[in-house]
Every structure is written in C-alpha cells, then in structure tokens.
Amino acid sequence: MKLYEIAAFLGCNEIQDSIEITGMNTLKNAVEGEISFLSDSKYEKELSETKASAVILPASKAHLLPEGVVVLNSDEPYMYVALLSKHFAKPIQSSDLPPVIGEGTRVYPTAHIENGARIGANCTIMSGVYIGAEAVIGDNVILYPNVSVYRDCVIGNRVMIHAGTVIGSDGFGYAHTKMGEHIKLYQNGKVIIEDDVEIGANTTVDCAVFGSTIIKQGVKIDNLVQIGHNCVVGEHSIIVSQSGLAGSTTLGRNVVMGGQSATAGHLSIAPFTTLAARSGVTKSIVNKGIYSGFPLMEHKLWLRMQAKLAKMLES
C-alpha cells in the first residue's frame, strides 16, 4: 500500500507521502519500506535507531524519531496497528506451483499439502496432516496424524511432531476499543523449528506477530504445551506437559520447565535454569538456578517455607 492510502484508512489524511509500504514490523527489526509503531514506553529507546519508513505513535514521541521517518499520529497506536494488520495478512493459498516432495518421502493418502510447500527427503507425512502454502519441511521428518503446519513455517531436519499438534496458528492478540470490543491483531509472522526437535501430542506453537517464533536445535517439548507468539526456546531446553510460555518469552539454552509451570510475557530466563512444577515466572531470571513456587523463589527457600508451614499447622 502507498503510505497515503494507509494514512487515509487510519484517518491521518494530512499524510500525502507516496512511499510504498510492503509490510509491518517492530521498531528494532523494521527496514526501509515497512511501517512500525510504539505502544509501550519501554521501547522508546528503539525509536532513534529504527529503519522504518513510517511509525504510528503519539505526537509527543515524534521528536525521538530519526530524520526522514514519517509520523502517523495516534493516541491509540496499538488499535491502529490491529486495524492495519488485516491488510498485510497473507492469503491461505498463494501459489500456483505444485508442492515439491523429496525422494523417499511417504505421504499418506489423506494428508493435504498446499501449493508452494516443500518437503525434504525420507519424511513420513501421516494421515490427516495439513501442510500450508510456502511451508518448508527438512529431511527425515515425521509428522504424526492430524499435525497442522501453517503457511510459511519452517521445520528443520530430523524433527518429530506427534499427533494433533499445531505449528503456526495465530497468537492471541487483540486491541480493545473503549467500549470493550476486541479488534484482531493479525499474526503475519511464522514459526521456525530447528534440527533434532521433538514435540509431543496436542501442543501448540503460535506464529509470530512479525518475524518468527523460534524453537532452537535439540529442544524437547512434551504433550499439551502452549508456546506463545514471538517466543524463543533455547537449544536443548525441555518443556514438560501443561506448561505455557506467554508471548515474547525467551528461554536460554538447556532451560527445564516442570509440569504446569508458566511464564508471563516479554521476559527472559537464564540458560541452565530449572523451573519446578507449577512455578510461575513474572520477572526475568538473570542468574541460573533452580526455582519454585508462586511468587517464584529459589527452590531451597521454597522447601524451607513449606517445612515451616507444615510445622505451624501441626502446632
């Protein structure tokens, strides 16, 4: 879309710039030809270095942008982004090219592979599997029955995904009107799963709003796990059943999450950290260790607290 078309759609009719806008992105990752936004003051430091051609933000923050970046003023930038995101959402089917299937790959009769998808050699694609447009599957991959891989997702080599798991479904993102209505923020990114990953049954890995949700090499994920949009799961991490990562959580390598543990969004967890079962993480963990409970604390302290509580109940 031309920038003046976007401005007219959003009600910023004073903008007449004819720059071609090809997509939306974060302030940090945007490049020339993309539009970005600021809805949270903690990202203000990224304004001065953004390469975006235009930014949606409150007028009071416009002076922080580099010279030449076009400003679209809004007191509700997140709402504007949600409204605009629909216009950059890709169609479910977008290619006339037939899928490419590598040598030695077996595709069961009821699997469905969209045009433009590419599947490597010696894979097994079982009954009911769906592989979306432009998805890329590596070599020696096993997709068990009813696995869904949405469009544009990338799966590496020697990956095993068990029945009913969904890769690349929309992250849970909505802007809210003053009347309490919910406006969908279209999730236009993808999921990247690196080599030697195994994912259990009925797990969901959401696609990114922009960019990629990334599951790094050697990660092992149990059944019934939720990975939110734009998360990064570090190499060789283990996530046990019924755990959940809220959006934009980053795990370092070899993090272990016990059953029913969970994190709030937009935080990071140090490499080689262990979270005991039912742990609740609300702040970033800088120092590796073993943690338990909610509010979260060091596991040794949690054990002492439980022992004291037991004694109090006995008295």
> How far is 299 from 263, CA to CA, in rounded Å?
17
Helical ranges in the chain per DSSP H = 3-10, 77-85, 299-314
Confidence (pLDDT) at 126:
98
The total number of residues shown for the chain amounts to 315
Smallest Cα–Cα separation from 199: which of 172, 166, 169? Answer: 166
Q: Which residues is 104 bridged to in the sheet?
A: none
Instruction: Give residue 95's pLDDT band: very low, low, confident or very high (50, 70, 90).
Output: confident
The 10s digit of each residue's pLDDT in 271-301 is: 999 999 999 999 999 999 999 999 999 999 9
Count other Cβ atoms within 10 Å, centred on residue 155.
27
> Residue 199 is inside which H or E element, if any?
strand 198-199
Helices 3-10 + 77-85 axis angle, to 10:
120
CATH fold of 3-88 reads 3.40.1390
8 Å CB contact between 205 and 224: no
| Per-residue model confidence as pLDDT tens digits over 138-173 | 999 999 999 999 999 999 999 999 999 999 999 999
Active site residues: 229
pLDDT score at 146: 98
For the cut 80, the answer to whether the pLDDT of residue 181 exceeds it is yes
Q: Which residue has the higher pLDDT, 208 or 91?
A: 208
Q: What is the pTM of this model?
A: 0.93
d(CA 227, CA 244): 6
The position carrying tokens 């008295």 is 315
Tell me the sheet residues that pair with 101: 119
Q: Mean per-residue pLDDT for 48-52? A: 95
Q: Within 10 A of 287 (CB to CB), how many other CB atoms are there?
A: 8
The 10s digit of each residue's pLDDT in 10-41 is 887 678 888 999 999 999 999 999 999 998 88
| Pairing of β 290-292 and β 297-298 | antiparallel
Distances (CA, A) of 261 to 12, 142, 302: 44, 28, 15
> What integer pLDDT is reported at residue 13 of this predicted model?
67
Residue-wise pLDDT tens digits, 65-83: 999 999 999 889 999 999 9
* Beta strand ranges found along 33-151 (DSSP E): 34-37, 54-57, 70-73, 100-101, 106-107, 112-113, 118-119, 124-125, 130-131, 136-137, 142-143, 148-149
Q: 170 and 151 in contact (C-beta within 8 Å)? A: no
- pLDDT at position 169 is 97
233: β partners: 215, 251
Helix, strand, coil in percent for the chain, rounding step 5: 15, 30, 55
| Residue 141 φ/ψ, nearest 5 degrees | -100, 140
| Region 217-245 average pLDDT | 98
Quote the pLDDT of residue 14: 77
